[in-house]
Structure 1
Amino acid sequence: MLGKYFLVVLFLSSYLLGVTCRIRRRKFHSLLNRIKNRRIEPLIVEEPSISYTTFSFTNVTFKHAESPVCDPDRNLLYWVDVLNQNVHVLDYVTGKHIRRHIDHGEVNFVIPIQNSNRVLLGVRAELYVLDWEVPGRAGLRLVALVDQGLPDNILNEGKADALGRLWAGTKGSQNGHEVAPDQGSLYKFEQPDFLPRVQLKPVTISNGLVWSLNNSVLYYIDSPTRKIEAFDFHLERGQISRRRTVLDITEYGYNKAIPDGMTIDRDGMLWVALMFGGTIIRIDPDSRRLIESYDLPVTAVSSVGWAGPELDQLIITTSRRNLDDEFLTQEPMAGSLFILSDTGTSGVPSFKVAFENADEYR
C-alpha cells in the first residue's frame, strides 16, 4: 500500500502560486512481461494517484525551463529559462527569488562551482562563469568555446563528475522541433585550462549525463536515439569506454517521445524526462527495465533534479517552446515547474565544478 501522498512546499513566497493536482503513477512488473512479435509488453499495474504541486512565478513566463540543480550547501535551487535567456535561483530558507537576464543567447544549463558563489553557465556554444555582482552580459566571464565552425550549435547539457570535471555536450542547429543530425559532441573540461576535449562524436542532441552511485558508470542520452546508454567510467582518468544500451524507450511504447534530462536517486535508479511524452520514467539500470512512470498534464517535459533540505523533492521542468496558442489552451501549465514528493526515495547531492579562484576569474 502506497499510503497518502502530499507535498509540502518549503519555499512559498509572494512570488509563488501553488496549485495542487493529481497525477497517475504506473508500476511496471517486468517478471510478468511477455514478448509478442519481438516487442516487450509490460503488464502495467495502476497505483493510487499521487498529489503534486505546480508552481509558477506570477511575474515570469518560463518558455523553456531546464537544468534544475540544487546546491544543498546553501539551500539554493537553480534552473534556467533557455529562450528567455534567464538564470533563476530560489533560496529555500528565505523564499527569495532572483532572476538574472543574460542577454547573450540561449542559456541551457547552470552548475554551482566549488567554494564559490559564482556559477558556470552554458550559453550558446560557450562556457561562462557568471558574476552575480555585475549586471547584464558584463557579468559573463568567458571560459571556453566549442564546435567552432558550427555557429548555430548549442551547449545543451552539462554536469560535473565526482572530481569536479565538467562534462558537457552540444546539439546541432535547430529549426522548430528538428535538429541537424550528427553535428554535436560530448566534451570534457577541467582546470586549469578548461580546454574542450572531445569524448564522443558524432551526437545529435547531448542530454542526460549522470553517474552511478559508485562512479563506475556514466549514463548518457543522445535524444533522437530514444535510448538511455551507459559507459564504463574511469574516475581518476576521466575516461569512458564500452558503450551499451540500458533501455530503449520504444520498447515500452514511447515512439513519439525522446529522452531528455536525467537524474539518479539514492537507490541507484535513473529518472528520465520524456520530451513530447508528458512523462517521467524511473529505470533500474542494472536489470535494464522500466519500473515506474509518472504522467504529467503537459507534453513537453524537459528535465528533472532533486531538491529540498532532504533532497526528496523531484523538480520537473517543462516547456512551451514551439507550442501554438491552440495547443496551449489544452495545456495551460506547459512551462511550469512541477514538484513531486513522497516518491519513496530521494536524490543524492550533485557534484560541483572544481574551479580554483573562480571568484577572481576575469
Structure 2
Amino acid sequence: MFPFSRLSVYHIIMCFFIPFMPTIFVQNVKEEKKSTHYKIFEYTNLTFDHAESPVWDSDTNTLLWVDVLNQDIHSLNYYTKKHRIKHIAYGEVNIIVPIKDSDRLLVAVKSELFLLDWNKTGNAALRLLARFDECLPGNILNEGKADVMGRFWGGTKGRQQKDKVEVNEGSLYSLEAPYFVAKVHVRPVTISNGLVWSLNNTVMYYTDSHTRKIDAFDFDAVKGQLSNRRTIINLCKEGWRKEVIPDGMTIDKDGFLWIALMFDGCVIRVDPDRRRVVEVHRLPVSRTTSMTWAGPDLDVLVVTTSRRNMDEASIREQPLSGALFMLHNLGTRGVPDHKFVFPNVTNY
C-alpha cells in the first residue's frame, strides 16, 4: 500500500483505505459489465481547490502535484513522508516537470514557463525561461510534459470564466535546448490536455478537451515533429453526457491509455490499437482532473480531483472533491515519466 496513510502530523497528508469495486469492464458504454473482484483506494484527508499535474519522480521517490488556484506546488516523499508546499504568489500554477540531473523544477505559471528553486524565497525562486501566447494575456499553460528526448511539450487554453473557456484561443507548443524558442505544432486549440507517448515513442496522444476527442499523431522523436493526426476515442460517439470532457492522461506498461473524465468522476482505460474503452474506474467525486503512476513499483494510480466552481450544496454531496485518490491492484503498472533536459541548468 502507499504508506502515506501512516502520517498523522498536523498539515501532513493522511490517507484512508476503503475497499470498493471501482472497475467496470465495458464492451460499450451503454452495456456495462462489472468486474468480479474488489479493489482498494485511498484518499487524502486534505482537499485542494483544483489539484492537477501529478508527477512521480522515480529518482527521488517523490510525488509532485499542484493546487492551481491557490498557486501551490506540493511535494510528498514516499519514504520520509515529508510533505512540503511551495507557494507561488504570481498566478495560476498548472504544470510541474522534474529536470534531469537537477534539483530544480520546471513550472508553468499563467502562460509562462519558469525554473523553480524550491529553497529560495520570493521572486528569487523563479527564473523565466519562456512565454507563450504573448498576445493573449488571459491564456494559461494548461498541460505539459517532457518527451523521450527531454523536450518540453506544453499546450495552452483560452480565457476561462467559471467552467466556460473561450474557443480556439490556445495552441500546442514544444521547447528544447539550447535556445528554448517555442515552436507551434497545433493551432487553434481550446483546452490543451492529455499528452503522453506510446511505449516505443512513435505516437503522441493528445486531447483538446473541447472537442471531446483523444487524438494520436505519428511522432518523430529525433526531429520533434508531428504528423498524421487521427482520433482514437470520441466521447461524442461513446454515449457519454455532453458536458463530460477528457482531461489528464497517462499510459501503462501494456500501452493502454488512462484518461480522467472531467464532470463524470471517473478514469477510463483505453486500448488505443482497438480504439475501445476497456475499463471505467469510478470515484465518489465528479471532477477528476489527471493522474500518474506512483510508488517504487509504479503500481499505484494517483488521481487528482477538483472542487473548482462547485457550489456549497455540491460540495456537501461530494465532500471528497479536491482530494487525491490512490488506486491499488489494477492489474498493471506505469512506466517512468521523462524529464526535461537542460544542460548546465544550474548555471542559468
Q: TM-score, length-normalised on structure 2? A: 0.96
Is the 8 Å Cα contact of residues 13 and 83 (structure 2) preserved in structure 1? no
Letter in 2 for 1:55: T
CA distance in structure 1 between the partners assigned to 2:314 and 2:347 by the alignment? 47
Equivalent residue for 1:335?
A: 322
Three-state SS of the structure 2 residue aligned to 1:16 is coil
Aligned pair partner of 2:162 in 154, 176, 196: 176
Three-state SS of the structure 2 residue aligned to 1:70 is strand
Letter in 2 for 1:192: P
CA distance in structure 2 between the partners assigned to 1:135 and 1:320 by the alignment? 29
Equivalent residue for 2:274?
A: 287
CA distance in structure 1 between the partners assigned to 2:304 and 2:251 by the alignment? 16
Aligned pair partner of 2:31 in 43, 67, 70: 43
How far 1:251 moved relative to its partner?
2.6
CA distance in structure 2 between the partners assigned to 1:260 and 1:17 by the alignment? 26
Listed as ranges, the matches of 1:187-226 within 5 Å are 187-226=173-212
CA distance in structure 2 between the partners assigned to 1:268 and 1:100 by the alignment? 34
Work out whether 1:53 is the aligned partner of 2:35. no
Aligned pair partner of 1:9 in 2, 8, 14: 2
Letter in 2 for 1:316: V
Letter in 2 for 1:190: E
CA distance in structure 1 between the partners assigned to 2:118 and 2:260 by the alignment? 30
Aligned pair partner of 1:127 in 110, 113, 135: 113
Aligned pair partner of 2:233 in 247, 256, 261: 247
Per-residue CA distance 1:268-287 (angstroms, 9 max, x = gap): 00000000011100000000
Work out whether 1:62 is the aligned partner of 2:37. no
How far 1:151 moved relative to its partner?
0.4
Give the aligned length: 341
Is the 8 Å Cα contact of residues 162 and 351 (structure 1) preserved in structure 2? yes
Equivalent residue for 1:27?
A: 25
Three-state SS of the structure 1 residue aligned to 2:330 is coil
RMSD: 1.1
Work out whether 1:105 is the aligned partner of 2:91. yes
CA distance in structure 2 between the partners assigned to 1:307 and 1:56 by the alignment? 18
Stretches of 4+ aligned residues off by more than 3 angstroms? none
How far 1:359 moved relative to its partner?
1.9
Aligned pair partner of 1:93 in 74, 79, 95: 79
Equivalent residue for 2:254?
A: 267
CA distance in structure 2 between the partners assigned to 1:353 and 1:160 by the alignment? 5
Q: TM-score, length-normalised on structure 1? A: 0.92
Is the 8 Å Cα contact of residues 23 and 52 (structure 1) preserved in structure 2? no
CA distance in structure 1 between the partners assigned to 2:52 and 2:45 by the alignment? 14
How far 1:9 moved relative to its partner?
2.0
Per-residue CA distance 1:74-119 (angstroms, 9 max, x = gap): 1111000000000011111100111000011000010000000110
Is the 8 Å Cα contact of residues 207 and 246 (structure 2) preserved in structure 1? yes
Equivalent residue for 1:228?
A: 214
Per-residue CA distance 1:129-162 (angstroms, 9 max, x = gap): 0011211332010000010110000000000000
Three-state SS of the structure 1 residue aligned to 2:79 is coil
Is the 8 Å Cα contact of residues 23 and 296 (structure 1) preserved in structure 2? no
Is the 8 Å Cα contact of residues 99 and 339 (structure 2) preserved in structure 1? yes
Three-state SS of the structure 2 residue aligned to 1:137 is helix
Three-state SS of the structure 1 residue aligned to 2:290 is strand
CA distance in structure 1 between the partners assigned to 2:53 and 2:118 by the alignment? 18
CA distance in structure 1 between the partners assigned to 2:234 and 2:161 by the alignment? 25
Three-state SS of the structure 2 residue aligned to 1:335 is coil
Aligned pair partner of 1:18 in 15, 19, 22: 15
CA distance in structure 2 between the partners assigned to 1:13 and 1:355 by the alignment? 35
* % same residue: 50
